[in-house]
Amino acid sequence: MAKRILVVEDNDLNRKLFCDVLKANGYEVVPVSDGSNVLATAKKSEPQLVIMDIQLPNVSGVDLIAQLKADKSLESIPVLAVTAYAGKGDEERIRDAGAEDYLAKPVSIGPFMAAVRKLLSD
């Protein structure tokens, strides 16, 4: 059975690109454009991985990662954080919230898929 990945990305082009690449590599994807329904969607879809954009409208991806990790039914799901705004201290802040890995945009397909495979391997 294909592993399911929740893709949280408000930018339509980025979300489509991530989803298309993941589907082409045999994964099932659940796209989410609005951070406000991430937790409910994660509970309903039971993904094996969450790809989280950090810069979302109305809610911080860092806050969403912390909320996922604080929920007993979701805490074991690995999170791959993706952000265009990688400033000093951002990676540490994102990892402190609970993200297992981190990529800065623009994301290249090779490192993106390597990170996805690494997080889904265990």
Identify the band that residue 115 occupies on the pLDDT scale cut at 50, 70 and 90.
very high
Name 51's bridge partners. Answer: 7, 80
Identify the band that residue 51 occupies on the pLDDT scale cut at 50, 70 and 90.
very high
- Where along the chain do its domains lie? 4-120
Find the mean pLDDT for residues 48-53: 98
Compute the C-alpha angle 4/10/11, nearest 5°: 105
Per-residue pLDDT at 88:
79
Q: Let me know: does 82 contact 103? Beta carbons within 8 Å.
A: yes
Burial of 99 (0-12, 13-18, 19+ CB in 10 A): buried
Per-residue pLDDT at 122:
55
Choose the CATH number for 4-120 among 3.40.50.12240, 3.40.50.300, 3.40.50.970, 3.40.50.2300.
3.40.50.2300
HEC-encoded secondary structure of the chain: CCCEEEEECCCHHHHHHHHHHHHHCCCEEEEECCHHHHHHHHHHHCCCEEEEECECCCCEHHHHHHHHHHCCCCCCCCEEEEECCCCCCHHHHHHHHCCCEEEECCCCHHHHHHHHHHHHCC
- pTM, full prediction: 0.96
